[in-house]
Structure 1
């Protein structure tokens, strides 16, 4: 009886921990800024002609029906929804229902002391350690400290030192340094 109770308690604690981790990951993605290479889906409920799936090109500008060219790079999903809502409201639709989702994130890149450096598809919740695993693992000379991540913030690259458990974002460039004996 005690074993069943402990098992049940353990299961509940694990579910609570997983839920908290998922919420933390989701909240960081709410402020996610779109970048070149992201594939998004814009859905205007009941208006198939205004729904669109597109990959953001190098210039970060898409041509949207009725609104023309709009620059989306650097905007959050809610900002894009508001921009399209405001653009369509009144002249074209009375109260448009707009939803924007990321279909596919831009890749992240990893170089340095990993077995297969290069670009890989981003997945939400990806840590440095998981990114290294995707790149074939650490080389025998890899350091697991002094890891550098270059991330674009407000249009400028920012370099930061991170731990192996740090979460990465789409477009990040991870550098695994060589350790010295």
Structure 2
């Protein structure tokens, strides 16, 4: 599987002509001339006109996977910190970090596979292990205290491009802040976010930071695995070309075109 690797030098090196050619090649290779023929793709393209950009929350709504930090469907991963409480059993009420191999270790229970399970699934498993053996009808609660397994890539015109761990329920502005904020000398206010879809494809959406800061658009929540690219003066023309040609899901496919 091709992997999208975003670096500042790469984005600066890409010109509108080269990207437009890649777009044309991508579209000519489709069996259906309509870009919305992509499986699961909405027919409505992203509005790329200045001041009328769709905010990410609406644009990506059909693709939000149940793995967002803070959601009930979030699956625990290595290095996450769990807060576990068992009513009237203080030795089992504690914070525990998931090991690299996905296990946690608890008194009376021993090693337990936590990675890949939702907090509610862990609650049910702990109840089964404790019920009848140590405690009758135990009351168990599990929630994620730190989302250390969830990471997002922030690249483009920021001070410190890189991969950062998400904490709590992170927003776009918070993710950019983790990367040291915008490079004020080169950054624009336009951001493109690439996201993996449940079916294995990728999608993209744009959002205007100025609109977020003014309160016109809600600061969107970012998800684990998102790639956030902050545009600069050298990439703006190329991005505008892409957004005018490709709808939502086809834009994501472009991220995997070898250039």
Q: Under a length normalisation based on structure 1, what TM-score does the superposition of the two structures give?
A: 0.68
Match 1:131 to one of 175, 182, 193? 175
Equivalent residue, structure 1, for 2:61: none
**Residue of structure 1 equivalent to 2:140:** 98
8 Å Cα contact 1:110-1:118 kept in structure 2: yes
| Change in 2 beyond 3 A, CA 1:44/1:28 | closer
- Measured against aligned partners, the alpha-carbon deviations of 1:65-85 in whole angstroms (never above 9, x if no partner) come to 233221111111111111101
Query: 1:54-106 deviations in whole A, cap 9, x for unaligned?
Result: 11111101122233221111111111111101110011111111111222221
Work out whether residues 142 and 176 of structure 1, in 8 Å CA contact, stay in contact via their aligned partners in 2: no
1:147 aligns with 2:193: yes
User: Secondary structure of 2:123's match?
Assistant: helix
In the other structure, the counterpart of 2:105 is 63
User: Is 2:88 the counterpart of 1:46?
Assistant: yes
1:33 aligned partner: 75
Correspondent of 2:227 among 150, 161, 174: 174
- How many corresponding residue pairs? 152
CA offsets, 1:140-161, max 9 Å, x none?
Answer: 256835422458x7xx987442
Once the two structures are overlaid, the 10-residue window that deviates more, 140-149 or 41-50, is: 140-149
Which residues of structure 2 form unaligned runs of 5+?
Answer: 1-67, 208-218, 238-259
Q: Deviations over 1:110-162 (max 9, x none)?
A: 332121123545344422233113322334256835422458x7xx9874424
Contact 2:155 2:162 survives alignment (8 Å): no
Aligned-residue RMSD, C-alpha: 3.1
> Once superposed, which parts of structure 1, at least 4 consecutive aligned residues long, lie more than 6 Å away?
none
Mark the runs of 5 or more structure 1 residues left unpaired by the alignment: 1-25
For 2:201 and 2:112, the matched residues in 1 are separated by 26
Q: Distance in 1 between matches of 2:228 and 2:89?
A: 45
Q: In the alignment, is residue 110 of structure 1 matched against residue 153 of structure 2?
A: yes
TM (normalized to structure 2)? 0.49
* More relative contact order, 1 or 2 (CA 8 Å, 6+ apart): 2
